[in-house]
Amino acid sequence: MPVDKLKASLGAVDWKKNVDAFLADANASQAVAAANLRLAIWSHQLEMADAENPALSFVREMQIAGQHVAVLIALSLYKPAAGSIRAVVETALYYSYFRLHRAELETLVRGTGFYILKQDVVEFHKQHTVDFNSTQQALGFLTRLDKWYGQISSLVHGQVPGAWIEHKSVAEIKHIKGTQDLAVQAFVESVELVHRLFLCTVGKQLWDAFTPSAKKQLLAGLHGNIKKSLRLDAA
């Protein structure tokens, strides 16, 4: 594409109108804001409780990915948002594993070709994280994770042509209420999955170092039976 044509295409999109339409949708904008706030609460507590752990870089990536989701949805770039939505969950999974595997993290950073899959992290927690199996079952975590991950991955890999995208050219990018809501729903679910993952893994391990206000916020909305199963205090 010649640069002049690219300039004309980008200039033809009313980016401000797209953002204004998103912000005018109170339900959507508030849901995205609330999801990012939850990520921020977890991130801040983990930064304090697990200070100097090099794996915290994944927590920072998680928070940035959530911010990118907000930007992309607001700009009506729904299909690109899918990648950042999946990154929110993947970076949380990586943190939950690599915080206890520093040698493997160093190997990963060196770029030697070493990597782990989602299922590798899950199997690690099943085998080695205390009470993970019973706690995740109470939270319904793995069932929700597998279903959601398959759906979002099919979008990221282009296995469902035309999903989350209506425009045929850059100049046609515009706010689409229905597609926006699908992206928002997927993002909210991604953050819920991170929340449940942390509650039955790293959050439970570091809970005593969390502030009382954060504990109350992170436990808010959970059913009484689930709170009992988690055995996490709110003070």
Note if the pTM is more than 0.85: yes
Do residues 136 and 200 make contact, with C-beta atoms less than 8 angstroms apart?
yes
Please report, for the chain, the start and end positions of each structural domain, with discontinuous segments joined by +.
13-230
* E-state strands within the chain: none
- DSSP code string of 105-166: HHHHHTTSS----HHHHHHHHHHHSTTHHHHHHHHTHHHHHHHHHHHHHHHHTT-STTTT--
Query: What average pLDDT does range 32-38 have in this prediction?
Result: 98
**Phi, psi at 228, each rounded to 5°:** -65, -40
CA distance 218 to 215: 5
110-150 pLDDT, tens digit per residue, is: 888 888 999 999 999 999 999 999 999 999 999 999 999 99
Residue 72 phi, psi (nearest 5): -65, -40
Residue with more model confidence, 228 or 141: 141
CB neighbour list of residue 23: distance below 8 Å, 6 or more residues apart: 29, 74
- How many C-beta atoms surround the C-beta of residue 42 within 10 A? 26
Predicted local distance difference test score (pLDDT) of residue 226 = 86
Q: Tell me what pLDDT residue 229 has.
A: 85
pLDDT confidence of residue 31: 98
Give 61-80 pLDDT, tens digit per residue.
Answer: 999 999 999 999 999 999 99
Angle at 21 between CA 18 and CA 22, to 5 degrees: 90
Rounded Cα distance between 198 and 175, Å, is: 34
Choose among 132, 119, 110, 126: nearest CA to 90.
119
Helices 56-74 and 15-24: crossing angle, nearest 10°? 100
